[in-house]
Structure 1
């Protein structure tokens, strides 16, 4: 593993899980990354199947929603969640 990367748990919920066909995967991500870079990785090379719902998803890191342009420092094993809007009743 590169010293500048960490192994993270990527979690998929609801429609994201349905589109990608799994609920989680282990991924290598840069230790420091901003929200825009993280989204580009998530919806680009890591989970391109999520393209159709990208604009409506929110991202949570360590069980906290991230803000646009937020600088993140990821720790080994941290959870990165892709959360689409929920519907139903």
Structure 2
């Protein structure tokens, strides 16, 4: 059995605050992520998003991503993905 099979998963991307301004939209339905056996690291998810939306590179090291409304605290950890999952890109928000 090949444990490292490649597959694609279609997720719904949500962009908030500055990330929404940079990409020009608040959502990107059916965003395709190439996974290894249905999993991808948080960092890999972020890299794939930045590859498709290069304007986000200015925020690459400062954003938080969330998978199905749960923050991905460790970007090195694998995220199990399924079609229809939600990935949110959340940049730092300044307040006062």
TM-score bin (small chain): 0.7 to 0.9
Report the aligned-residue RMSD. 1.4
For 1:73, the equivalent position in structure 2 comes to: 80
Residues 21-44 of structure 1 deviation map (CA, whole Å, 9 limit, x = unaligned) = 00010211123111221121111x
Q: Distance in 2 between matches of 1:55 and 1:4?
A: 26
Gaps of 5+ in 1: none
Tell me the TM-score normalized by structure 2: 0.81
Q: Distance in 2 between matches of 1:52 and 1:35?
A: 18
Structure 1 residue 68, shift from structure 2 partner: 2.3
For 1:4, the equivalent position in structure 2 comes to: 7
Q: Distance in 1 between matches of 2:61 and 2:43?
A: 12
Tell me the TM-score normalized by structure 1: 0.87
Q: Determine which of 64, 77, 89 is the counterpart of 1:82.
A: 89
Q: Distance in 2 between matches of 1:5 and 1:36?
A: 17
Larger of the two Rg values belongs to structure:
2
Number of aligned positions between the proteins: 86
Structure 1 residue 88, shift from structure 2 partner: 3.0
4+ runs deviating over 4 angstroms: none
For 1:51, the equivalent position in structure 2 comes to: 57
